[in-house]
Amino acid sequence: MSDPALPELVDSHCHLDFPDFDGEQPELIARANAVGVGRMVTICTRMHKEPAVRALAEAHEGLFYAAGIHPMYAAEEPLISVEELVLLARHPKFVGIGETGLDYHYTADSAAVQAESLRTHIEAARRTGLPLIIHSRDADEDMARILTEEHRIGAFSCVMHCYTSGPELARVALDLGFYLSMSGIAAFPRSTEIREIFAAAPRDRILVETDAPYLAPPPHRGKRNEPSFVAHTARIGAEALGLSEAEFRAQTTANFDRLFHKAAR
């Protein structure tokens, strides 16, 4: 159980519609609530699944959602239009655009369509005022260039979800006013460089997440991740930033409320 003296914690990025969790969502959410995780954002990565993700958010207080086309699926899915995303954003529990981005680890051959999809999502973030949720893997240079180019065209807010890229992309993102989100990877013993990037970032620009069902932090590494485990990452994050656990929770939750303003308390 959570210490009732500790502030609320938010899991800013999870995937509760994935088959790993079929039929278990009420129990998962209850376990998260029991350790002080009061709100979660579940992310739709393929647009044909948006109705199911929306229904999940509607069914649970404290659960919000975002939708977009994951870059690894950009060549498989019909590209969504700016207008379609803007229409979805009218829903009271729709709080972010994405996840979108660039992933050259397995899908570098679709780089051009990934970039086209990313720019569409950026324009939707501009028009709605909702934060863009970015996935970036093995694409630091192109990601920094596109985000910089697009920000010159018109400002938008953004979080670099599950940040594991290098210090240069972090610098570009932070200079643009964006946020970095800490996942369970930051709690792995060998993730010293990632913890150093977060320790050097402004305190008011850091979020925390699970990316459940992936990337479970110790002591659950290698197992299915779930929103309650964000409490473990928060403890390691607090150490890395030189904060108490209570200070880390309060800071990251305040940051979440500022960025994800539709889901704010």
Q: Could you list the residues known to form a binding site for a divalent metal cation, using ranges.
A: 13, 15, 99, 135, 161, 211
Crossing angle of helices 140-153 and 167-175, in 10° steps, is 10
171 burial level (CB within 10 Å; 0-12, 13-18, 19+): middle
Phi-psi group of 69: left, alpha or beta (phi > 0 → left; psi -120 to 50 → alpha; rest → beta)? beta
And the tokens for 252?
């990251």
254 burial level (CB within 10 Å; 0-12, 13-18, 19+): middle
What is the spatial distance between Cα 131 and Cα 145, in angstroms, rounded to a whole number? 19
Q: Where are the alpha helices (DSSP H) in the chain?
A: 25-34, 50-59, 82-88, 111-128, 140-153, 167-175, 192-200, 230-241, 245-259
Could you tell me which residues are annotated as the binding site?
Answer: 13, 15, 99, 135, 161, 211
Tally of CA atoms within 13 A in the half-sphere of 200 that contains its CB: 13
Q: What does residue 113 show for φ and ψ, rounded to 5 degrees?
A: -70, -30
Q: Where are the alpha helices (DSSP H) in 154-229?
A: 167-175, 192-200
